[in-house]
Amino acid sequence: MSKKDLSKSVLDKIKKDHIKPKSKWEFLLKDYVFWGLFGICIVIGGMVASMMIFKVHIHDWELHKPLGESFFNFHLRGMPYFWLLLLTGFIFVADYNFKHTKKGYKYSLPLVVLATILASIILGFALFGMGVAKSMDEKALQNLPFYKEMTLDKKIDYWSQIEKGLIGGEITNINDDKVEIKSFKGDIWEVNTDMVPKDMLDKLEEGMIIGGFGKKGEKGVFDAEKIKPWKGNFINMKEKDVLLRTI
Amino acid sequence: MKMSSDDAEDILQEVFIKTYENLNDFDQDLKFSSWIYRITYNHTISYYRKNKAKMQTLSLEDNEIFLEKLRSEFNLTENVDKKMLKEKVQKFLQKLDKKYRDVLILKYLEDKDYTEISNILRKPMGTVATLLNRAKDKFREILKNNHFKYE
């Protein structure tokens, strides 16, 4: 077929099949959809990053000592791997969407992944500062039983090992040298606070959920060395919608 | 790959129609030739996938320049006549992975620069450079394994 014949056959087909150029907005829309999905991935990545920051923030860094475990073994086990995995997933979905934007192919995978991680972390810190992660954790604890089992319940179990020198519960009464605690198991404990630094005691109030380090004394008494307000959310075990006072 | 002139005309006609349909998608920052090459490349691949059975292997017929460029790039010193050289190079190229063959063909047959190859294959420039280097290494490895003389 000569060039002339080819041109004619192309033009004939265009006329015969009424072929028209697709409008610009179709292509723009496709591009915007991928940009939008990329943006959504960054926002979700930021929320996931804020949860990771929150989890690290409320982590009990001294808990390995009374449990007799090494620092690395214990705390490596307690890192927020689920959120890390989720963040990794969203980073790669973000990269997929970015690569499908009109000029996204020009940027290498490491560059896009690094930029996405940075954006997620910056947004994560901002959302954490705004209290979004704490609210998300509250909602998850109230509505997702498996989430509560894997996080709060596990933490409560750690703080219920009185034989190992860990006590946790709600302050029911407080006076100069004693604090009365209703433990997570429902027992009442008299906590001797002679050894506890004053600045720690000053932070305590009735109704507050706390965690204490020390030794189990005679019946019903716990000799505390440190008492700290509970880090993170805590939900009343009987009334799941009641959030008790924590920091 | 080798195709009949009917196949080539079909592809060409469809490429022109596709180009016309997608005119509003043309990015002014690209060379028009890169853009239409990308359409042709993608369309030819999909045509090849649909018609794999009737397509033949890569052919270097009428591609003297390509052969010369390869001869010079790889310093091919094998003392064989052109016809045999063509056959051998054709066979060696066929042994390469498609991703390596594509960049070699774009660089040495189509004479495209890195930016154009990047725009045609929709890959970052760095990836194109890496692919091209690896393609050359693989090609040299094949030459060596086949006791083909080069410097």
pLDDT in tens, A15-40: 999 999 999 999 999 999 999 999 99
Which has the closest alpha carbon to A24: B111, B28, B88? B28
Counted domains in chain B: 2
| 3-class secondary structure, A183 | strand
* Residue B69 shares a structural domain with residue B47: no
DSSP assignment of B45-78? HHHHHHTGGG-B----TT-HHHHHHHHHHTTB--
Q: Which two tokens stand for residue A169?
A: 């519960």
Residues of B in contact with A9 (CB under 8 A): 13
Whether A34 is in a domain gets the answer yes
Q: Is A19 in Cβ contact with B124 (below 8 Å)?
A: no
pLDDT digits (tens, 9 = 90+) for B117-148: 999 999 999 999 999 999 999 998 988 888 77
Number of domains in chain A: 2
Cβ contacts of B5 on chain A, cutoff 8 Å: 1
pLDDT score of A241 = 47
| A202 and A124 together in one domain | no
Question: Tell me, what's the pLDDT at B1?
Answer: 54
Whether residues A117 and A153 fall in one domain: no
The pLDDT assigned to B26 comes to 93
> Is the distance from CB of A222 to CB of A192 less than 8 angstroms?
yes
Contact B12 A107 (CB under 8 A): no
Q: Which of B101, B90, B9, B102 shows the shortest CA–CA distance to B57?
A: B90
Chain A and chain B share a number of CB contacts under 8 A equal to 48
Among the partner residues B12, B23, B127, nearest to A21 by beta-carbon distance:
B23
Domain co-membership, B102 together with B68 = yes
* B85-112 per-position pLDDT tens digit: 777 888 888 889 999 999 998 998 888 9
Last residue of a domain, one of A103, A136, A169: A136
Q: Do residues B131 and B75 both lie within one domain?
A: yes
3 state SS of A2: coil
- ipTM for the whole complex: 0.78
Residue A202 belongs to a domain with what CATH number?
A: 2.40.50.140
Domain boundaries, position A192:
149-229
- For A155, the token pair is 């933490």
Type and span of the H or E element at A192: strand A188-192
Q: Read off the tokens for A59.
A: 């982590």
Structure letter (DSSP) for residue A162: G
Q: How far is CA A136 from the centre of its chain?
A: 8
Residues in chain A, pLDDT under 70:
1, 236-247
Q: Which domain holds residue B31?
A: 1-56
Q: Say how far apart CA B2 and CA B7 lie, in whole Å.
A: 10
Is residue A169 a contact partner of residue A209, using CB atoms and an 8 Å limit? Answer: yes
CATH number at residue B136: 1.10.10.10
